[in-house]
């Protein structure tokens, strides 16, 4: 992209990235070989290749389910492909962005980047602190060239040009050669500076991601309205933290979900699409702190104690009262059901391992039940009803094997009976004298993601710096201007030439700027341009 002037001495990046030597056969000595290898790695062609590989390596993560995003889908996929599945799992196909091969691509790329940027920093420092090169002998060969006559003394002309260029923040030197006095000016160092800053801040982004990964944590929790949560590991449904996080020392905040409002669109065209989710939480930053109230909505998380609480989902929790054969109450709680479709047909289970015999229920909650259908017709609770299956036998809860709270292991249970549509307030007398179940009502639950990422501000700052560097790298033009003044019989002949080192860019405007200040009344100067 750099347009290199064959007369120039400080070829930008010469001997580095685009060095033709890199293709040369390696010398035989060990250090020579190492040096050759290093050159290969830091060559522009390798950077290109690694960037390509990076793009390619990212693809499978969007094709196959990913452990970090949806672990259930991963196990389903592996189970459905017993031949290739486990092998792919070992190869990291379901955890691409944490896999060794993905890491090796980006780590190589960043090593190459450092190897590339550090020498360029040195070169650029030298270029930026040293004087621009002397004016070439023949200015008319330059990309843009014009000449004019002036009645001023040559030195006066050059002084004016120099002052003007300095005023416009050009770096200017002057000198004399056989053909006369000249000044040489250069500008646009910010191009390379920006480029270097851009590449360096990419490293900073990587560091920020690493900080987040090592010191950050993230968990998910479902909270029913009226219930509370306190930030300890045991309260989370899912929790994951970096290597340097001590789960015993999470920030000690707590909150209760005081209220949760949901509205769905009732217009015919977008029936059922969500319009509003709004959670009202009462929270304390630590057990002794005063109680505060805040609203949590999508796009409006609550910041507390360095962590952020995001509203990520919601659903219904039907409330049941269960009594055993003797009329003793053995259960009185709201059970969280997970929505299965856009109309919130939701499923959940109740397990009663302490009942004798043990009981289990499959629960389907329909917010808007329609007798003729087995799914809900609308996501709002217009006509709530539950479908129930009751099972008897061994829930497996006492076997020590961990179970999901949303599935019932029926391998050692028998179906006692089912009820297609219990409505609030109704009681169903279970078959075989197993007791009764009352559908007492329902409440809502909200799910929260609680995250702490100490790297994210660094990442944001690095990204903004990268963007600024990138813009200056792509928009600033590194360019040179020369002015020569020769005393002649009719006055002074002034030559102005410009060279732009950016491909396709033109110097006419800069040359015109100088000409304009040297002879403001010059009739429409005609700056010529060579096709470079």
User: What size, in residues, is the chain?
Assistant: 532
Query: 56: number of CA atoms within 13 Å, CB side?
Result: 8
209 lines the binding site for another protein (CB under 8 A):
yes
Among 473, 492, 493, 500, binds ligand HEM (CB under 6 A): 473
User: What Rg value do the Cα atoms of the chain yield, rounded?
Assistant: 37
> For tokens 């302490």, what's the residue?
354
DSSP string, 189-233: THHHHHHHHHHHHHHHHHHHHHHHHHH-EEEEEEEETT-EEESSG
Alpha carbons 474 and 394: distance in angstroms, whole number: 69
Of these partners, another protein, ligand HEM, none, which one is at the site of residue 112 (CB under 5 to 8 Å by kind)? ligand HEM
105 lines the binding site for ligand HEM (CB under 6 A):
no
- In sequence order, the 6+-apart residues with CB closer than 8 A to the CB of 487 are 153, 154, 180
1 or 464: whose CB is closer to ligand HEM? 1
Alpha carbons 43 and 286: distance in angstroms, whole number: 54
Of these partners, another protein, ligand HEM, none, which one is at the site of residue 138 (CB under 5 to 8 Å by kind)? another protein
Of these partners, ligand HEM, another protein, none, which one is at the site of residue 297 (CB under 5 to 8 Å by kind)? another protein
> For tokens 């800069």, what's the residue?
510
> For tokens 């006419």, what's the residue?
508
> For tokens 């949590």, what's the residue?
296
Nearest alpha-carbon partner for 344 in 306, 374, 316: 316
379 lines the binding site for ligand HEM (CB under 6 A):
no
- In sequence order, the 6+-apart residues with CB closer than 8 A to the CB of 97 are 58, 61, 66, 68
Q: Kindly state the smallest distance separating residue 518's Cβ from another protein, in Å.
A: 17
Of these partners, another protein, ligand HEM, none, which one is at the site of residue 490 (CB under 5 to 8 Å by kind)? none
Q: Kindly state the smallest distance separating residue 312's Cβ from another protein, in Å.
A: 7
Nearest alpha-carbon partner for 189 in 248, 143, 244, 130: 130
Q: Kindly state the smallest distance separating residue 11's Cβ from ligand HEM, in Å.
A: 11
Q: What is the DSSP letter of 235?
A: G
The first and second tokens of residue 241, run together, are 């933290």
Alpha carbons 64 and 59: distance in angstroms, whole number: 9
206 or 312: whose CB is closer to ligand HEM? 206
195 lines the binding site for ligand HEM (CB under 6 A):
yes
Among 68, 100, 226, 357, binds another protein (CB under 8 A): 68
17 lines the binding site for another protein (CB under 8 A):
yes
- H or E segment to which residue 467 belongs: helix 456-475
Beta strands in 353-408 (DSSP E): 359-366, 385-393
- Segment contacting ligand HEM by CB under 6 A, of 192-200, 252-260, 323-331, 437-445: 192-200
Q: Kindly state the smallest distance separating residue 442's Cβ from another protein, in Å.
A: 22
Alpha carbons 301 and 306: distance in angstroms, whole number: 12
Nearest alpha-carbon partner for 498 in 515, 514, 511: 511
Q: Kindly state the smallest distance separating residue 47's Cβ from ligand HEM, in Å.
A: 4
Beta strands in 367-435 (DSSP E): 385-393, 413-422, 427-429
Of these partners, another protein, ligand HEM, none, which one is at the site of residue 530 (CB under 5 to 8 Å by kind)? another protein
- Considering only residues 202-221, where is the footprint of ligand HEM by CB under 6 A? 202
200 or 422: whose CB is closer to ligand HEM? 200
338 or 370: whose CB is closer to another protein? 338
Beta strands in 409-475 (DSSP E): 413-422, 427-429, 436-452
530 lines the binding site for another protein (CB under 8 A):
yes
Nearest alpha-carbon partner for 468 in 149, 197, 91: 197
Q: Kindly state the smallest distance separating residue 194's Cβ from ligand HEM, in Å.
A: 6
Among 470, 477, 486, 519, binds another protein (CB under 8 A): 470
312 or 416: whose CB is closer to another protein? 312
210 lines the binding site for another protein (CB under 8 A):
no
Among 159, 174, 259, 265, binds another protein (CB under 8 A): 265
Q: What is the DSSP letter of 344?
A: -
The strand pairing partners of 2, in sequence order, are: 502
Of these partners, ligand HEM, another protein, none, which one is at the site of residue 235 (CB under 5 to 8 Å by kind)? none
> Alpha helix (H) ranges present in 26-176?
30-41, 44-58, 60-63, 71-80, 85-90, 100-129, 154-167
- Segment contacting ligand HEM by CB under 6 A, of 62-70, 107-115, 135-143, 269-277: 107-115
Alpha carbons 131 and 485: distance in angstroms, whole number: 20
The first and second tokens of residue 500, run together, are 């732009």
203 or 451: whose CB is closer to ligand HEM? 203
Of these partners, ligand HEM, another protein, none, which one is at the site of residue 284 (CB under 5 to 8 Å by kind)? none
Among 138, 293, 329, 427, binds another protein (CB under 8 A): 138
Among 5, 42, 361, 379, binds ligand HEM (CB under 6 A): 42
Among 470, 486, 505, 508, binds ligand HEM (CB under 6 A): 470
105 or 430: whose CB is closer to ligand HEM? 105
Residue count at the site for another protein (CB under 8 A)?
Answer: 66
298 or 474: whose CB is closer to ligand HEM? 474
Of these partners, ligand HEM, another protein, none, which one is at the site of residue 199 (CB under 5 to 8 Å by kind)? ligand HEM
104 lines the binding site for another protein (CB under 8 A):
no
Among 113, 437, 481, 499, binds ligand HEM (CB under 6 A): 113
22 lines the binding site for ligand HEM (CB under 6 A):
no
> For tokens 């560097």, what's the residue?
469
Q: Which residues bind ligand HEM (CB under 6 A)?
A: 1-2, 13, 17, 42, 44, 47, 51, 109, 112-113, 116, 195, 198-199, 202, 470, 473-474
């Amino acid at each position: 992209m750099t347009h290199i002037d064959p007369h120039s001495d400080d070829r930008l990046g010469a001997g580095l990235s685009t060095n033709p030597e890199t293709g040369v056969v390696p010398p035989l000595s060990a250090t020579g070989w190492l040096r050759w290898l290093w050159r290969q790695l830091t060559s522009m062609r390798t950077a290109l290749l690694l960037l390509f590989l990076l793009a390619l390596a990212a693809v499978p993560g969007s094709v196959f389910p990913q452990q970090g995003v949806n672990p259930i889908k991963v196990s389903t996929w592996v189970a459905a492909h017993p031949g290739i599945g486990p092998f792919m799992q070992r190869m990291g196909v379901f955890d691409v962005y944490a896999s060794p091969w993905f890491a090796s691509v980006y780590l190589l790329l960043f090593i190459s980047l450092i190897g590339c940027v550090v020498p360029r920093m040195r070169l650029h420092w030298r270029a930026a602190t040293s004087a621009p090169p002397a004016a070439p002998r023949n200015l008319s060969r330059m990309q843009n060239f014009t000449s004019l006559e002036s009645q001023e003394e040559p030195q006066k002309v050059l002084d004016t040009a120099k002052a003007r260029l300095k005023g416009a923040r050009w770096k200017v030197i002057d000198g004399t050669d056989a053909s006369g006095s000249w000044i040489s000016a250069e500008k646009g160092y910010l191009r390379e500076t920006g480029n270097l800053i851009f590449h360096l801040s990419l490293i900073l982004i990587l560091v920020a991601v690493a900080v987040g990964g090592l010191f950050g944590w993230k968990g998910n929790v479902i909270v029913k309205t009226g219930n509370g949560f306190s930030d300890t590991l045991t309260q989370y449904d899912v929790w994951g933290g970096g290597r340097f996080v001590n789960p015993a020392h999470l920030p000690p905040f707590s909150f209760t979900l005081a209220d949760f409002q949901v509205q769905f669109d009732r217009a015919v065209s977008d029936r059922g699409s969500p319009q509003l989710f709004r959670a009202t939480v009462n929270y304390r930053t630590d057990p002794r702190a005063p109680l505060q109230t805040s609203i949590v909505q999508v796009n409006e998380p609550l910041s507390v104690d360095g962590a952020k609480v995001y509203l990520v989902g919601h659903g219904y929790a039907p409330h049941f009262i269960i009594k055993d054969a003797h009329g003793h109450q053995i259960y009185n709680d709201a059970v969280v059901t997970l929505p299965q479709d856009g109309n919130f047909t939701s499923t959940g289970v109740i397990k009663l391992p302490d009942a004798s015999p043990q009981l289990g229920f499959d629960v389907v909650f329909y917010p808007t039940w329609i007798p003729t259908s087995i799914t809900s017709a609308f996501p709002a609770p217009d006509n709530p009803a539950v479908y129930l299956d009751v099972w008897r036998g061994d829930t497996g809860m006492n076997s020590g094997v961990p179970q999901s709270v949303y599935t019932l292991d029926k391998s050692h249970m028998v179906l006692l009976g089912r009820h297609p549509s219990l409505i609030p307030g109704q009681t169903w007398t279970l078959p075989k004298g197993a007791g009764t179940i009352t559908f007492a009502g329902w409440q809502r639950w909200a799910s929260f993601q609680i995250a702490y990422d100490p790297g994210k501000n660094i990442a944001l700052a690095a990204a903004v710096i990268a963007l600024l560097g990138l813009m200056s790298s792509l928009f600033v033009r590194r360019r040179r201007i020369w002015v020569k003044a020769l005393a002649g019989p009719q006055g002074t002949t002034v030559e102005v030439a410009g060279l732009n080192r950016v491909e396709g860019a033109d110097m006419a405007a800069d040359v015109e700027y100088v000409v304009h200040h040297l002879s403001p009344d010059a009739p429409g100067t005609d700056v010529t341009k060579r096709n470079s």
